[in-house]
Amino acid sequence: MIKNKILVTGAAGFIGYHLTKQLLIQGYEVVGFDNLNSYYDIDLKKSRIEELNKTVGFEKNLFSFIKGDLENLDLLNQVFENHNPTIVINLAAQAGVRYSLKNPQSYINSNLVGFSNILESCRKFKIKNLIFASSSSVYGGNTKTPFSEKDNVDHPLSLYATTKKANELMAHTYSHLYDLPCTGLRFFTVYGPWGRPDMAPMIFAKSILENKPIKIFNNGEMARDFTYIDDVVEVILKLITKPATKNEKFKKESPDPSTSWNKYKIFNIGNSDVIKLMDFINILEEEIGLKAKKIYCDMQPGDVKLTSADTSSIYKWIGFKPNTPIREGIRSFINWYRKFYNY
């Protein structure tokens, strides 16, 4: 059976790398696209691409990589025209809540201009299934937990969250106007091997192993719905063969933001098991075998105290939801971290 050719943007990123590797193993032909920007360690991104080139996909000529920016519409159209993908998974974005306070323009360029270009290329080349990354950050100031896709998310607390909410709205418009099937995924604190150096697991592990202090914001009164990377990949793999469909029972007089009369769906991708920040640090300490030096700090602007995902919708749609226990996930992450960074 001939499998669909898939374009993965952000292929050198954390989620993009893991997804692309699994797609290649399963026999998909994958076009990877990434600008390899310097937001975090470029060597880590290059190492991910090197790993992808070592997989079964390289031997069978299933993987090709293109370096470029989403803001370059001419290049994107050229990629679509030359490679003719039928499915697009857009994971490329300027990530990070805190960095959006320092460099807002990069979020406008990548997350708004770049995503609009993805939508335009998908429209022009009649893509059968667009899956795109949103974020749990869109829940912003909401306090009702667990967060549901049916909740109003009109009160973001960071520019990053604003751009992700905008992506959801833009995708709905293209679904409505051009019959483009769009599925948005609100990721909840994804972690695991090959993770991002700007996120807590990597920051904490590095500091603990080097006997340096870690900053604990909001004096430790934080909790997160940590989601293991393998679970995220499993969700996306299942969504590849189940694109968004129209909700024939949609009520415009009382609209559900997570669905539509168009081919459009929004899903939470979380573990549904909220972990207190201090418990997370304790598990890290136990798996590393060292105690952390702790500095307690106030809450940072744009941050939220708690994230918690209602995952009933994704389970109903594909029969699966993330479920890896936090200790199992951290152990796998620490094993990789020690090996990769030679600790």
Catalytic residues: 160
Q: Which long-range contacts (CB under 8 A, 24 or more apart) does 250-258 make?
A: 256/150, 257/149, 257/150, 257/151, 257/152, 257/153, 258/148, 258/149, 258/150, 258/313
Q: Say how far apart CA 205 and CA 197 lie, in whole Å.
A: 10
How many angstroms separate the first and last alpha carbons of the chain? Answer: 44
Type of residue numbered 214: I
- Show contacts of 147-150: CB within 8 Å, 24+ apart: 147/268, 147/307, 147/308, 147/309, 147/310, 148/258, 148/268, 148/310, 148/313, 149/186, 149/257, 149/258, 149/266, 149/267, 149/268, 149/310, 149/313, 150/256, 150/257, 150/258
CA distance 159 to 91: 18
Q: Count of CB atoms within 10 A of residue 210's CB?
A: 9
Both tokens of 210, joined, read 């080097």
Q: Which of 98, 96, 108 is nearest to 166 (CA)?
A: 108
Strand 223-224 and strand 275-276: the pairing is antiparallel
d(CA 319, CA 321): 7
When computed from its CA atoms, the radius of gyration of the chain, rounded to whole angstroms, is 19
Bridge partners (DSSP) of residue 190 are: 227
